Amino acid sequence: MKKPILALILLFGLSSLSGATGIALRDNPPDHHVVVKGDTLWGIAGTFLKEPWRWPEIWKMNRQQIKNPHRIYPGDMIVLDTRNGSPELRLIRGQGTTKLSPRIRAEQTEAAAIPSIPPAEIGPFLSKPLVVEEGALEQAPYIIGTDESRVVLGAGNSAYVQTILEGGPLHWYIYRPGKALIDPDTGITLGYEAIYLGDAKVLRYGAPATVEITKSNQEINVGDRLVEAKEEAASAYAPHAPDHAVNGRIASAYGGVAEVGSGSIVTLNRGRRDGLEIGHVLALYRHGRDVTPNENDKASPEIVKLPDERYGLAFVFRVFDKLSYALVMQTTRPVHVLDDVHTP
C-alpha cells in the first residue's frame, strides 16, 4: 500500500483489551477492505481473521470500546497493518473526511452504521418473542371480549381489553404464554417463552378499552395478553469472547425443533446473572456421550466418556436475566438442543 494512504490511517482504539499475540490471520488476507452496504462487523472480521471474535484485539479496543465501538460506515476503508510485527486494523474514513480523528462524521447517522451481525436475522427477536419470568404476563392487560362476539380475531377486527387508561401506550404487541424454558442442567424453570400473536392499536382508552388488531401472525383469542410495543435497536457491540469461563447449554431452539443450522436462533441457559452480554461469542460443542467398550464384561463394565467436539460459533444478541438469545454464525454439523456452549 502506498505511503500517502498509510499516512491517513486512523487508529481505531488506543488501549489494548489483551495482547494480539497468537491471532491467526486468514491465508492471504487482503491488505484493506472498503466497507459496503450490507457488511457486518462479523463479516469484515472474517475477511482478515480465522477467529472473528478476536476482532477487538486486532483493533486494540479497550473494554468500553467493545461495548460502544466507533461506528463504521459504507465507504470507509479498513486497513490491515502488520508493520510492527503483529496484525492491527486501522480505519480510513470515507470520502469527505478531512480532519484526522476517530469521530463520526456529522452527516452520518447511527442507523447508517454497519451492524455486528445481519439485522434481518435477529430483527424479530429484538422485541418479540419475549422471555418472561413466571407470572409476568399475568399482570398484563388482556382481551376480555370481541366485537360481534367473534371467537377468533385477526387483522382489522376490534377487541375489548380489560384496562388501558388515558395516557397509556398507543401501540401494543399481543402475546400468549408459551412453553416453560427448563435448565437442562438443574431442571429448574428459567422463564417462559411468550408467543407473539400480532399487533394492536388503541381506539378508545378506558376500562374496558377498545383496540384494533392491526396485524395477526396467529389466531387471537379472549384471554390473550397485551405488552407495550417497544422496539430495541440492534446493538453494534463488537464480537468478542467473554473474559471469563462460560459453560452453558442450548435450552431450546426457536420453533420448537430439536435440530437447527447456521442462521438459526437458539436460547441459552445462561444470562445476565452469569455475566453474559450482547456481543459475546461462544463456541458450540457436541457433548461427548458415555460408551462401554467392553460390553461383555458384565462384572465391571468400563465406561468411557467420548471427547466433546467443537463444531461452531454462536453470537449472543439479546440477554435476559437467566437466559439469552444467540444466533448460530457458523457450524460444520447440525446444532442440537442440549449441546454445550463454552468460551472459545
Residue-wise pLDDT for 253-292, tens only, equals 877 788 899 989 999 999 999 999 999 999 999 988 888 8
SS3 176: strand
Q: Are the CB atoms for 147 and 158 separated by under 8 Å? A: yes
**Cα distance between residue 151 and residue 298, in whole Å:** 62
pLDDT given for residue 107 in this prediction = 42
Give me the numbers of helices (H) and strands (E) for the chain, helices first please: 5, 21
User: What is the H or E stretch that residue 55 is in?
Assistant: helix 55-59
DSSP conformation letters of 187-198: --EEEEEEEEEE
pLDDT tens digits for range 121-132? 787 777 676 788
pLDDT given for residue 136 in this prediction = 82
Tracing cell 489483551 back to the chain, one arrives at 18
For the chain, which residues score pLDDT lower than 70? 1-21, 62, 65-70, 95-111, 127, 129, 231-236, 295-301
pLDDT given for residue 276 in this prediction = 96
pLDDT given for residue 5 in this prediction = 32
Q: Name the region of 96 (left: φ>0; alpha: ψ -120 to 50; beta: rest).
A: left
pLDDT given for residue 21 in this prediction = 52
Residues in the chain: 344
pLDDT given for residue 255 in this prediction = 72
**Cα distance between residue 232 and residue 264, in whole Å:** 20
**Cα distance between residue 6 and residue 95, in whole Å:** 15
* Structural domains for the chain: 3-114 (no CATH), 125-228 (no CATH), 247-342 (2.40.10)
Q: Are the CB atoms for 93 and 270 separated by under 8 Å? A: no
pLDDT given for residue 295 in this prediction = 66
Query: What per-residue string of b and e applies to 248-280 under the rule 16 or more CB within 10 Å gives b?
Result: bbbbbbeeeeeebeeebbbbbbbbeebebbbbb
Q: Which amino acid, one-letter code, is at 277?
A: E
**Cα distance between residue 119 and residue 43, in whole Å:** 13
Burial of 317 (0-12, 13-18, 19+ CB in 10 A): buried
pLDDT given for residue 16 in this prediction = 31
Reading the block at residue 159, the C-alpha cell is 377487541
